[in-house]
Structure formats: structure tokens, C-alpha cells
Amino acid sequence: MVLFKAPKNAILRFSHVERESSVTSPSQTPALDSSLVLRNSLTTTSDMPQWQSAPICKLPIEIIQQIASYLSPPCGASFCLSTRYIYYAVGTQHLSTFLSFGTSKLENRKNIEVLERAFPSNWYCAWCDKFHAHDQASGPKNCDGETKRDCNEYSSYLHAGKDYVLTYHHVRLAMNRHLWGLKYGIPISDLSYSAQRTSKLFKEKVPTNLSISAKIVSGHLLLHSAFTIALPLAATERKSFYPKLQAALPQIIFGHRNDNSGHSGLMTSVYQALCKHSKYNIQLCSTCATDYLVRVHPPSSTPTSTSSSSSPSEHIQLSIQTWRDLGTCRNPFDACWRAHGEIGDSPPGFGGDIVRLTSYKAGEIREAFELEVPFKHDSGIIFRPQLEI
């Protein structure tokens, strides 16, 4: 007996689900029930209460079927997958109807989430049109230890070198955990990162610092990145300084998918800030939903441990912060996500998010991140306390 048999025109095929064990036999225990095995093994101790089944499972099959007949298609689909007993009592008609209900690919992908929620050990990949198993140690700081899949690159990604690569499945798993519970994904803290390194600028090693943190606000995943670099004051006067500086900036700070020149106006802001030795007003990139802020600290005559000369030299500290709105993380084809990724060898001009940006104001993403308040897109006016730049 097959656990689930979708109609021919349904998108999902259970043969696509990557599982270590088959779930095609009613006598086998699915991965969803592994927690029950653990709990039953713990009931032998005196301080643990006896595990009890849900009261609804004690009802006659006829009453359960009657309950299912009053449910809407999405509720009926979730209901039949809630327990093995209810699955055998109700069957898969509600699930098959719901999966065939979508009128577009976008709606079909949204409907398949009912299966993703029923099998927390797997997540649905719209690019591959199948389910992938969770890796034991998943996260942007452990990409080398994850299963290699082409969809990780095709679905776009942000990075800060090889030590931090944020792919679509990371943000989806973080959102799944936020929406459905602990066992469905990875904690939002797994997206955080910090590193102190040195970068070469005109044959001189300069210290850099990068920190990354994430929050989920009003159903949107917001990513904050902060990068500081100590610049030799004499180097800022050289003709090739700005191209060299741009090459030293991490992609997660500077880049987006639309072109290789980075966030619109960012290098102009850096130029203005260096000339004035002060902060520059917060700006909004015109092709991706990213706020950025540039600051320059006054020159200081201090020797650096990485400098080739032991004599003190004047350095200024350049600080760049970005706040990205990665969207709801429910679809890898959504411009809300893809607009931020690495452009690589792709042609420029096809990675923007212009339509969504018509309702944004500079500083709105930053305020949503720091104050944890939702966006107000209708009027474009934000009724929030003012933040100090």
C-alpha cells in the first residue's frame, strides 16, 4: 500500500523525497514518529509522565470522517496528515484535491508546504521540484559539510568568502523553524557570523572586521552586515584607491545580482565620507532592497600590527553597514531573494527588484531591523521613533 498517491497532474511525487528509509509500507514507522520512540523509551523513569495519544484518535472512524467533511481543502489536507490513525480513517482524497487545486506554479508550490510541514526531516526545493533531506549540521558557516547540490548555486547565494556562504535553503529552513517549530529548520542565530581578518591594500596589510546578524520581522528575514577596515590615509589619495577598496569589500556588504558595480551610490557615499571624514546619510540601493550607511572615523596616528613599517602611520577607519530585506523566503525564484545574490558570470541587468522598491524609503529596512516593527508600504510613511544615524 502506498502512503500517498497523488494524481498524475500533481507536482509532487513521493519518489522525489530523499529519505534514508522508505515510507511505502503501513507497517513501517515514518520519520515523523521518531520522537514518539524516544519519549516511550523515557517513560520508564519515575519522574516522566506516561505518553498519551491525542483524544481525537479515540473517536470512531465515522465521526472523524464526518469532521473531515466540514474542513476546507487546506485544512482537510493538513488533517489527513496529522496522525497515522487519521490518515487511515480519512484517506488521501482531501490531500489530492488540495494539491490539484492550484491554478499556477506559484500556488502549487505554496500548497506543497502542507507536505513539508508533515515531514519535518525534509524541506521542499522548488528549483529541483522535490524534497531534500536536512543535513545534520546545516548552516552558512558549514557549507563544506553539507550535501552538494546544484540548486544551492542556481537558487542564488550571498557570501563573505568560503567561510560564510548563505544559500536559499538556509533562509528557508530558518523561516520554517520560525513559522512551524523547532524541528523544522535551523535557528536564526545560525545565520550570524563574525570574523577579524587582514586584507592587502597597496602591498600593506590592513585589519578588517565583519559581523553578520539576522532577524525575522513581520514575516520578512532581514540581514544586517557591518564591515570596518583601517585605511592608510596616504593610500586614499592614490588614483587606483577606489577600485582596490571595492575589491576588498565582501560580497555580502557590497554586491547584488543586478551588476558588478555593487549597490547604487555606495562608492559615491564612500568618496563623500572620506572627503568629509564624517558619516554619510543612510541610502537605499535602487535595484535591491538594501539600506546602507557609510561612516569614517577621524585620522589617528597609531601603528598597526600588520603594517610593514614599525613607525606610526595615519589611518582612518571606514565603516559600512547594510540592512537587506530577503523577503519571506518561500520561493527561490522570488526577486525579493534573488536580487541580493552573487552575480557571478551572469549578464547584468536581470537581478533587480525595482517594482518592490517603489514603496520603500531610505532607512525603512534599517528601522524595521533595529526596532523590530513591520513595514508600512501603503503610504510610504513610517510612523516610528527616529533612530540616531
**pTM of the shown model:** 0.77
Rounded to whole angstroms, the Cα distance separating 252 from 171 reads 14
What would the DSSP string read from start to end of 334-345? -HHHHTTS--TT
> Are residues 264 and 123 both part of a single domain?
no
> Are residues 110 and 198 both part of a single domain?
no
> Are residues 218 and 107 both part of a single domain?
no
18, containing H or E segment: none
359 neighbors 286 (Cβ within 8 angstroms): no
Residue 389 forms part of a structural domain: no
Q: 83-116 pLDDT, tens per residue?
A: 888 888 888 888 888 888 777 887 888 888 888 8
**DSSP 8-state code for residue 31:** G
> Are residues 101 and 186 both part of a single domain?
no
Rounded to whole angstroms, the Cα distance separating 131 from 121 reads 10
Phi and psi at residue 194, in whole multiples of 5°? -150, 145
pLDDT, tens digit only, all 389 positions of the chain: 333 333 334 333 333 433 333 333 333 333 434 343 334 443 444 454 455 577 888 888 899 889 988 988 888 888 888 888 888 888 888 888 888 877 788 788 888 888 888 888 899 998 888 899 888 778 999 888 888 888 888 888 999 999 999 999 999 999 999 999 999 999 999 999 999 998 888 888 899 999 999 999 999 999 999 999 999 888 888 888 888 899 899 999 999 988 888 898 898 889 888 887 666 688 999 889 999 999 988 766 544 444 444 445 688 899 999 999 999 999 898 888 999 988 877 778 777 776 677 678 889 999 999 999 887 654 333 333 434 44
> Are residues 128 and 188 both part of a single domain?
no
What would the DSSP string read from start to end of 150-186? HHHHHT-EEESSTT-EEEHHHHHHHHHHHHH-GGGS-
> Are residues 202 and 333 both part of a single domain?
yes
253 neighbors 225 (Cβ within 8 angstroms): yes
pLDDT for the residue numbered 194: 96
Domain boundary among 82, 113, 133: 133
Residue 207 forms part of a structural domain: yes
Spatial CA neighbour of 324 closest among 228, 224, 210, 187 = 224
Q: Structural domain of residue 95, as residue ranges?
A: 14-133
CB-count exposure of residue 309 (10 Å: 0-12, 13-18, 19+):
exposed
pLDDT for the residue numbered 51: 53
Residue 259 forms part of a structural domain: yes
Beta carbons within 8 Å of 104's beta carbon, 6+ residues apart: none
> Are residues 179 and 249 both part of a single domain?
yes
Q: HSE-up of 342 (CA within 13 Å, CB side)?
A: 19
290 neighbors 223 (Cβ within 8 angstroms): no
Residue 165 forms part of a structural domain: no
Domain boundary among 70, 102, 133: 133
